[in-house]
Chain A
Amino acid sequence: MILTPQTLDQIFPIAKHWLLGFVPATAQPLASAILSVVPILIAFPLLFAITTWLERKGLGRMQNRLGPNRTGPFGLLQPIADAVKSLTKEDIVPITADHVVHFLAPLVLVAAAFLAYAVLPIGRNMVLVNMNAGVLFFFAIGSTVELSVFMAGWSSRSKYSLLGAMRAVAQMISYEIPMVLATIVIIMQAGSLSTVSIVDKQAAYTGIFPHWFVFTPWGFMGFALFMIAATAESNRSPFDLPEGESEIIAGYYIEYSGFKFALFFLGEYLGMFATSGLAITLFLGGWSAPFSFLTWIPSYVWFFLKLLTLIAAFIWIRGTLPRLRMDQLMNLAWKYVLPMALINMLVAGIWHFMPTGPARWLVCTALLAAPCILLSLALKRKKRFQVRTYRFAE
């Protein structure tokens, strides 16, 4: 068999098909499901392990430190050491905790995070379920994360946990709205809720340039808003108020130790990869190559390259920005991201009905840039505080 770019691209579907040939016909649906799910259950936790190492190394270098460098060459075996450590640690459950809910919370988080991968097209013909309401499914599953976070905070029966969970739920609900609204422009333009057909729409080229949605004014704005909301959704710096190590110690997972804590960590990172994967699917052309002459590289390679790029961006942001205050967080969500998402929808509609040409570029860019700058200036305006007078203290 000759290894053409086509076969290399389709190597996983072909391998699955070949393996299914050995299974009796009655067991084929089950075997097919297992063969599709197991690689996802292996690949993304592996990516999680690599990301923890990348993150610790990257943050270390940004702070002029070395990062982990004792376990293996360049500290590459650090994730294994961490896994062994968290497996051998004592699992402490507070005596007053609601044991069942306390036990279920990390499982719900990880299960929800894994379910989201069902609709992500990792490569050409490489999606677990080609659902016609894929994007909707993704957000429905994504909202389960709030449930597990609140389960963890509530069942621990600790003040810090509850505070962290309340912060987390307030933040996640606030940012879920702009996140969904930012994706609506894509659904409007693609005319489909299926992630597969959204990627197919973007996998075409004009000259050498792809038809990615991010290369349009509304797509770019939607991508920026989506990434802000995605950072907040995955509770990462600068939106890491729910964890807030310096204020509420670790928020909703303060009462977790050992492997349950590791599961929370895993769930959080899996959620981050899933939202990044959705951003890639919706805005960055999914598995399609960035230039037409690079299409010979297998599609799944492009997907993971884009994912790693977004992870690097997340790490870079985390190393740069300090944590927001609660009021700044809410102001950003409701006074900036949400109005911009609504305006963006309007602009996407205008784009759709205007004739192609430089005129619609100009109009749409102006329509987005003006409110963006005005809103930012309004948010930046100095607030005038009253001088506080004390009646009794002086």
Chain B
Amino acid sequence: MVGEGILKGLAETARNFFGSYVSKQRLTTLQYPEERLPQIEAARSFPFLVYDGADPQPGLRCVACQICEKECPPKCILIKKSADKKPDAVGKPQFYPAVFDIDISVCMSCQICVEVCPFDAIKMDVDYDLPTADRFGGLLLDKHQLAKSNQYYHQIHPTEAASVDATLAAAHAKVDAKAKVAADARAAADARPNPAPQPQPQPAGGESQ
């Protein structure tokens, strides 16, 4: 019949109109600032820097190797390497980033910096509530704003963080075992009556490997 399609369409919109008043299922609108969807574990927004221990700046895992800066496709990372070395969370002297800036207005959340980081120092955040009145300075995050604790990382990505911790613990164990072997060798060398300067380069070389 002529006009049947129009009548069907009108019935459909009328059903939607009245249905949205009675059925919560139809009206899927989320009143955003007041209501939020539960966070998905795999969500990601912008990168942040992980630190171990209680103090953010000395605890940063980042050693300013600048791989992420070189790999970043939109070039939103700026790192200035420190001139000196400072002890990190486990007390080993390391370079540290004197400046670490990410311009999140440029960042495209591709996660390549996370993929290339050999120290598991940079990870993806889930925070998307980043409005600011200053579109230049407010979106340029420095290392103080970027530093977030390992506990926070566990909180937002529990599975991933656990596996990262396991890998790091294994690596530490390996280093410790090596150091122990080297220390044993040094102890054995000390026991022998040999000239004093010889054992000193040995532990240094053993530790650097």
Contacts of B16 in A (CB 8 A): 61-64
Cβ B14 vs Cβ A316 within 8 A:
yes
Q: Could you tell me the distance in whole angstroms from the C-beta of B62 to the nearest C-beta in chain A?
A: 42
Cβ B2 vs Cβ A61 within 8 A:
no
Q: Rank and list the top 7 A-B pairs by shortest CB-CB distance, nearest first.
A: A376-B2, A320-B9, A62-B13, A320-B13, A61-B17, A61-B20, A319-B13
Cβ A373 vs Cβ B29 within 8 A:
no
Interface string of A372-394 (1 = CB under 8 A from B): 11001100100000000000000
Contacts of B3 in A (CB 8 A): 376
Cβ B29 vs Cβ A65 within 8 A:
yes
* B26 close to chain A: CB less than 8 A: yes
Taking beta carbons and an 8 Å cutoff, which residues of A are in contact with B?
58, 61-66, 316-317, 319-321, 372-373, 376-377, 380
User: Which residue in A64, A316, A321, A373 is a CB contact (below 8 Å) of B28?
Assistant: A64
Within 8 A of A (CB), among B14-33: 14, 16-17, 19-21, 26-29
Contacts of B134 in A (CB 8 A): none
Q: Give the nearest-CB partner of B18 in chain A.
A: A61
Cβ A66 vs Cβ B29 within 8 A:
yes
Interface residue tally for chain B (C-beta within 8 Å): 17
Cα distance A380–B2 in the bound complex, in angstroms: 9
Cα distance A321–B10 in the bound complex, in angstroms: 8
- Pairs across A and B, CB under 8 Å, 17 listed: A58-B17, A61-B16, A62-B13, A62-B16, A62-B17, A64-B19, A64-B26, A64-B28, A64-B29, A320-B6, A320-B10, A320-B13, A321-B6, A321-B9, A372-B2, A376-B3, A380-B2
Interface residues of chain B: helix, strand, loop or mixed (majority): helix
Within 8 A of A (CB), among B113-150: none
Q: Could you tell me the distance in whole angstroms from the C-beta of A366 to the nearest C-beta in chain B?
A: 16
* B12 close to chain A: CB less than 8 A: yes
Known pairs A62-B16, A376-B3 / 15 extra A-B pairs, C-beta < 8 Å: A61-B21, A62-B17, A64-B16, A64-B19, A64-B26, A64-B27, A64-B28, A65-B27, A316-B10, A317-B10, A319-B17, A320-B6, A320-B9, A321-B6, A380-B2
Contacts of A317 in B (CB 8 A): 10
Q: Could you tell me the distance in whole angstroms from the C-beta of A67 to the nearest C-beta in chain B?
A: 10
Taking beta carbons and an 8 Å cutoff, which residues of B are in contact with A?
2-3, 6, 9-10, 12-14, 16-17, 19-21, 26-29
User: Which residue in B13, B26, B27, B29 is a CB contact (below 8 Å) of A316?
Assistant: B13
Cα distance A146–B19 in the bound complex, in angstroms: 40
User: Which residue in A62, A321, A377 is a CB contact (below 8 Å) of B2?
Assistant: A377
Q: Which of B3, B26, B29 has the most CB of A within 10 A?
A: B29
Q: Give the nearest-CB partner of B16 in chain A.
A: A62
Cα distance A63–B17 in the bound complex, in angstroms: 8
Cα distance A61–B6 in the bound complex, in angstroms: 19
Q: Give the nearest-CB partner of B9 in chain A.
A: A320
Q: Which of B12, B16, B26 has the most CB of A within 10 A?
A: B16
Cα distance A109–B20 in the bound complex, in angstroms: 37
Contacts of A64 in B (CB 8 A): 16, 19-20, 26-29
Cβ B21 vs Cβ A373 within 8 A:
no
Q: Which of A63, A317, A320, A380 has the most CB of B within 10 A?
A: A320
Cα distance A195–B13 in the bound complex, in angstroms: 35
Cα distance A319–B16 in the bound complex, in angstroms: 10
Cα distance A372–B27 in the bound complex, in angstroms: 40
Contacts of B12 in A (CB 8 A): 320
Q: Could you tell me the distance in whole angstroms from the C-beta of B23 to the nearest C-beta in chain A?
A: 9
Q: Could you tell me the distance in whole angstroms from the C-beta of A69 to the nearest C-beta in chain B?
A: 8
Contacts of A319 in B (CB 8 A): 13, 17
Q: Could you tell me the distance in whole angstroms from the C-beta of B75 to the nearest C-beta in chain A?
A: 34
Q: Could you tell me the distance in whole angstroms from the C-beta of B63 to the nearest C-beta in chain A?
A: 48
Q: Could you tell me the distance in whole angstroms from the C-beta of B185 to the nearest C-beta in chain A?
A: 73
Cα distance A65–B28 in the bound complex, in angstroms: 7
Q: Give the nearest-CB partner of A70 in chain B.
A: B31
Q: Could you tell me the distance in whole angstroms from the C-beta of B178 to the nearest C-beta in chain A?
A: 63
Contacts of A61 in B (CB 8 A): 16-17, 20-21
Contacts of A316 in B (CB 8 A): 10, 13-14
Cα distance A14–B20 in the bound complex, in angstroms: 45
Q: Could you tell me the distance in whole angstroms from the C-beta of A380 to the nearest C-beta in chain B?
A: 7
Q: Could you tell me the distance in whole angstroms from the C-beta of A289 to the nearest C-beta in chain B?
A: 26
Contacts of A376 in B (CB 8 A): 2-3
Contacts of B6 in A (CB 8 A): 320-321
Contacts of A58 in B (CB 8 A): 17
Cβ B2 vs Cβ A66 within 8 A:
no
Q: Which of A319, A372, A376 has the most CB of B within 10 A?
A: A319
Contacts of A321 in B (CB 8 A): 6, 9
Contacts of B10 in A (CB 8 A): 316-317, 320
Q: Could you tell me the distance in whole angstroms from the C-beta of B31 to the nearest C-beta in chain A?
A: 8
Q: Give the nearest-CB partner of A379 in chain B.
A: B2
Cβ A373 vs Cβ B26 within 8 A:
no
